[in-house]
């Protein structure tokens, strides 16, 4: 009888377990950055979505970020009170609120994103540049397909 061929895949943790550990580490690295800028995780998610493009409705924003539309109202109120976003009536349909970043919101978003990217660089610091490129490319592909 021949000895079994080793299967490195068999002995690795499940993808879900690895992704959860990595996700927790990323959230822990982002928390101090968010706190230093006075923005919540949901606030940053909203700023990120609106940085890409203005949204025509709060419901569209909620769908885009995977949140319940009633859950983000407090976050939107806070961001608007801080003059980081604008919610204006649509001139074509006054029941609809157009959402967009203000210049201050765009500046805060850029600052938070830079801090988060620095924290990510620290986390990825043990990878070679080739491994980092592959990891990021594969992660982008997998996360795009997960929607």
Q: Give the start-to-end residue ranges of the domains of the chain.
A: 24-146
**DSSP, res 5:** P
Instruction: Reply yes or no on whether the pLDDT at 108 is more than 80.
Output: yes
Q: Encode pLDDT of 32-84 as tens digits.
A: 999 999 999 999 999 999 998 889 888 899 999 999 888 899 999 999 999 99
Answer for the pair 127, 117: CB distance below 8 angstroms, yes or no.
Answer: no
CATH 1.10.10.10 given to domain 24-146: yes
Residues 6 or more apart in contact with residue 62 via CB below 8 angstroms: 68, 69, 71, 72
Instruction: Reply yes or no on whether the pLDDT at 4 is more than 70.
Output: no
Q: Encode pLDDT of 26-38 as tens digits.
A: 999 999 999 999 9
Structure tokens at 33: 């950055």
**pLDDT for res 47:** 97
The full DSSP string for 16-77 is HHHHHHHHHHHHHHHHHHHHHTT--HHHHHHHHHHHH--BS-HHHHHHHHT--TTTTHHHHH
Q: Give the pairing of strands 85-90 and 93-101.
A: antiparallel
């Amino acid at each position: 009888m021949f000895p079994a061929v080793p299967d490195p895949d068999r002995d690795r943790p499940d993808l879900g377990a690895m992704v959860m550990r990595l996700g927790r580490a990323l959230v822990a690295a982002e928390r101090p950055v968010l706190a230093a800028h006075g923005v919540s995780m949901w606030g940053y998610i909203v700023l990120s979505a609106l940085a890409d493009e203005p949204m025509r409705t709060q419901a569209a924003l909620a769908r885009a970020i995977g949140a319940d539309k009633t859950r983000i109202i407090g976050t939107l109120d806070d961001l608007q009170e801080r003059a980081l976003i604008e919610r204006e009536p649509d001139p074509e349909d006054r029941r609809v609120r157009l959402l967009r970043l203000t210049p201050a919101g765009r500046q805060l978003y850029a600052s938070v994103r830079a801090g988060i990217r620095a924290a990510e660089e620290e986390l990825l610091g043990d990878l070679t540049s080739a491994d980092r490129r592959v990891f990021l490319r594969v992660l982008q592909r997998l996360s795009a397909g997960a929607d």
